[in-house]
Structures are given as C-alpha cells and as structure tokens.
Structure 1
Amino acid sequence: MRLVFLFIVFFSFAFAKAQTYELGIFAGTSNVVGDVGSTQYIQFNDVAIGGVFKWNRSPRHSFRATIISANMVGDDNDSDDISRDLRGLNYDYRMLEASVGIEYTFWDWELYSGRPQFTPYLYTGLTAFHYELFALNNTNELEEYGETTDIAVPIIFGVKMSLTPKLILAAEIGARYTFTDNLDGSSPVRSKDFDNLKFGNLNNNDWYVFSGVTLTYTFGRKPCYCNF
C-alpha cells in the first residue's frame, strides 16, 4: 500500500504543474539471473506488463514512475550447465514492481519542435518489488513458504522515437540489481533452519531483467522548463 500511495502522490504532484507528460503501457518479457535456470543474462521467459508515467522536465531528463507485474520462471532444464540440468529445479511465481527515478536522454528530446524525435536514453532510480519466497523441501523440490518485499537498483537502457506528435514508442532492456540472493530459492531467509538448504553462489545477489517496449501518449501544454 505504501508503494501505491507514493505513486499516487508523485502522479498528483506532477499534474499540479502543467508541463509535458507521457502516460502509457509497458509490455515485454522477464527473467531472473540467479542460481536456478538458464545462465543467460537476457531470456524471453515469460510475460511482464505494466504502466509508465513520465514528467518531462527538460530536453535531456524526465522524472519517471512505473508499475510492472511479471511472471518469473526458472527451470534448470533450460540451462547449458550440466550440473543444473541434472539437478532439475524450477520455480514459477508472480512479482509486482514499482519504480521511481530519472530518465536521461543522450540527445535533446523536444516533442514540440515540429520534427520527428529519436534518442537513446538511460534510466535509474529506486525500485521496490514484492515476490514469493521458496526453499527446498523434503523431496528436494522448491516450495513456496511466504512472501516479502525488497528493493533494487534499476539500470535501464533504451531508445525511443515519436510516431506522431502525441505517440511515443520505445524499446528497452532493464536489469535490476537486488539486495537478496533468494529470487530463485537458493538462499532462503527468516529461519536458521534454512541455512543448510542454501545452495549455489552465496556471494552474489540475484538480478532480474525486464525487456520490452513502451507506448506512451503525450499531453499537457508546451513546457516552460524550470531549474530542475
């Protein structure tokens, strides 16, 4: 609920100063980089979908907020690592992510210039995500035992272009560095009894990746850029 409240406050504050806004959808794929499943950094494992809001504060930066729901799956049988393939573990759960931060464009992004716009961009900020917890059970399978919320640092690279003066299409790949090693059940928490159930590389935290496209609609009067 806190994440939803913060998102609403951010959204409302943006509308209090009529500038240039973008509101739209994100659609793409999700994958976890951890100790279970494929060792590839970018995989098209399952669906991720959500909403995105941007407040363009200058030709080079905008404040951005997103909420994304994704299905996170991992299967050792998809790995090129023989030891993982023989182990045969797998997981499947839903994740809900909320993120706020700054999107920086490498070239000027001026929607009111009357010219087609195109630019690469970089986004970072702070992300909170809610997900299910797993641990090995007596039959050596991953079993859900709870839910929790953690934070991550997103690093997203993309390119965007104006389809029309009002519609913006973007494609992006975004990795999230988390502060947990248990997106895949390899390092269960909350009980000392879980210590002997840990496996994999315990010195590295997990990452997860969303790859996809956004389609946003722009509105608001011609911007008068301020000091930030």
Structure 2
Amino acid sequence: MRIFLIFTFALLATVTGISQTYEVGVYAGGSNFIGDVGKSNYIAPNSVVFGGIAKWNRSARHAFRASVLFANLDASDTDSNDSRRQQRGYEFSSTLIEGSLGIEYNFWDFDMHQGFDKPATPYLYTGFTYFYHDSFALDPVQDALVSADSEWDLAIPMVIGFKAMVNTNFVLALELGARYTFTDNLDGSYPGTEDNNYANFGNINNNDWYMFTGLTLTYTFGRQPCYCGF
C-alpha cells in the first residue's frame, strides 16, 4: 500500500510539473481562390473567413495547433487581368469549412511566462487540413458553371506569421496561409465525372489553391510549463 501511495504521488507530481500553457482564441480575415477561374494573384482577399483556434504550447519553440474556420471562396473571370478569362466570363461562389491540425514552429523562443523578455516572434505552421466545399461543373450548353454537389477534400496548409504579446494573457498574430488542395475541382474545371454533359477546362495538371490572410487573438492559460519533453 505504501509503495502504491508513493507511486501515485510521484505520478501526480510529474503531471503537475509538466503542465503546459494553452491558448484559445479567434481568427478573422479574408480569403481568395487561386485556380482556373478569376484572378491569378496569390494574395488578393475578396471574401470573409472566421473561426476558432487552439494551441498547446509544448515548448518555447513549438506548439500543437488545431483550428476550425468558415469561409467563402468567390472568383470571377471579370476580375482577372487575363483578357481570355475576361472574355470567357466564368464565375462561382462556394462555402468552405475546414478543420486543421498540425504543428507551429517559432523562430525565436516565445514563453508567455517570461513576461516581455521575448515579446514577439515570426512562426511557421503546417499539418493537415480536411475541408468541405461546394463543387461545380461546366455546362457546355449554358457555357456557365453550375452547382454539382458538395465534397470533402484534403489540403496541406503552409502558413507564415508574426505574433506578439499584448499583455501576459493575450497574444495577437498576423498570418498569411496558403492551402494546397488535392483537388482540381474547387472551380469546376475538372469535375472528374463520366457524365458527358460536363466539360473540362483550364490546366488540368495543376490542383487548386486557396489563401487565408488574417489576424488571430488568443487567450493563454495554464500553469507555468516545464518544457522538459516533446
């Protein structure tokens, strides 16, 4: 019994000693699409994105991160600088919901418990994204994109940002994030269906991308971490 109690207290002390700092907060910004319809600019927000974000800071240099974001993706050939797209005149508007899980890496040590000794750092984030979106197809009779269905697809997020302490409990960050998707049909250019009523267009060798540009504000809580393990 004595050995059991000693083991139990030792385990509790270890768990308490490695308690980590957590962050929860909000994300808000703009979204834009990069594909075979609309502008080809990489950073050109024209719709709204918002959602929630959470982090588990495992060290002063890295954190596990999860987020759920809601966005619209709007694209119109009339906004493009390409005269061929302007003449074609395709357009679409899609609802997108994404869940993302991955790791955030800080370029410099960023420890909320050290006050303002290290108040800011650039960072990178990547992982895996699973997202829901409306899908489209080109109707050759109407020569226009029509709603086809909705789909779930995968993407790889590639995010760069800069964050700074507002005070001892809040962190404000600005970030730019590209999502490389595993589909070429966010814009209906490659529906991948055997239905002969739909046609392909554009470059079918390149998958679609979408971009989020925004701000995050997170609240930090939890005991001072040990940072003694992964």
TM-score of the aligned structures, taking structure 2 as reference length: 0.89
Look up the SS of the partner of 1:43 in the other structure: coil
For residue 18 of structure 1, report the CA deviation from its aligned partner.
3.8
The answer as to 2:49 corresponding to 1:60 is: no
**Amino acid in the other structure paired with 2:204:** L
Write out the 4+ residue segments of structure 1 that deviate beyond 2 Å after TM superposition.
Answer: 193-196
Shift of the 139–196 alpha-carbon distance from structure 1 to 2, 3 Å rule, reads closer
The aligned counterpart of 2:37 is 36
Greater radius of gyration (CA): 2
- 1:196 Cα deviation after fit: 5.8
Normalised to the residue count of structure 1, the TM-score between the two structures is 0.90
User: Counterpart in 1 of 2:201?
Assistant: 199
Q: Give the alignment partner of residue 122 of structure 1, picking from 113, 121, 124.
A: 124
Matched, 1:92 2:65: no
The 3-state SS of whatever aligns with 2:86 is helix
Residues 102-140 of structure 1 deviation map (CA, whole Å, 9 limit, x = unaligned): 000000001101215100000000000100110112211
Aligned partner of 1:156 in structure 2 is 159
Residue 182 of structure 2: which of 173, 176, 179 is its match? Answer: 179
Distance in 1 (alpha carbons) for counterparts of 2:196 and 2:174: 40
SS in 2 for 1:70: strand
Q: Hey, what's the Cα distance between the residues in 2 that align with 1:196 and 1:144?
A: 11
> 2: distance between equivalents of 1:57 and 1:28?
27
Partner of 2:106: 105
> Amino acid of the residue matched to residue 166 of structure 1?
N
CA shift, 1:32, in A, is 1.0
Q: CA deviation at 1:194?
A: 5.1
Q: Measured at CA, do residues 102 and 194 of structure 1 come closer, stay the same or move farther in structure 2, by a change above 3 Å? A: farther
Deviates more, 1:108-117 or 1:29-38: 108-117
Consecutive unaligned residues in structure 2, runs of 5 or more: 1-17
Q: CA deviation at 1:176?
A: 0.7
The letter for the 2-side match of 1:147 is: S
Contiguous gaps of at least 5 residues in structure 1:
1-16
